């Protein structure tokens, strides 16, 4: 299983990436070892996570999200938060 994710950085910017191990990836980001972008904006936390069936699907989705305007990304984050708060249906 692969995941496309967005992180909220300490400067309130958003970072998008993929991983197959969410816990390990977040730990690496917060240690400053995963991305040059996030290294200067610590700490970071997940604000959006989407499952994909393959690495290829996750990479395609990452590319789609990275091309979105910041406002649209923020809307995705808000939708994700509202689903997370409701829990499984």
The pLDDT score that the predictor gives to residue 82 is 85
For the segment(s) 2-86, the CATH number from 3.60.21.10, 3.40.1440.10, 2.60.40.10, 1.10.760.10 is 3.40.1440.10
Distance CA 25, CA 83 (A): 23
Element (H, E) at 50: strand 45-52
Which residues of the chain register pLDDT less than 50? none
pTM, full prediction: 0.92
Residue 87 has what pLDDT? 64
What are residue 51's phi and psi, to 5 degrees?
-80, 145
Domain boundaries, the chain: 2-86
How far apart, in whole angstroms, are the C-alpha atoms of residue 68 and residue 83?
21
């Amino acid at each position: 299983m692969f995941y496309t994710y967005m992180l909220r950085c300490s400067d309130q910017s958003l970072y998008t990436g993929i991983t197959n191990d969410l816990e390990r990836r977040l730990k690496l980001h917060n240690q400053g070892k995963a991305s040059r972008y996030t290294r200067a904006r610590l700490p970071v936390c997940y604000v959006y996570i989407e499952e994909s069936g393959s690495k290829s699907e996750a990479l395609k989705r990452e590319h789609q999200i990275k091309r979105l305007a910041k406002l649209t990304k923020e809307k995705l984050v808000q939708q994700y938060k509202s689903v997370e708060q409701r829990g499984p249906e």
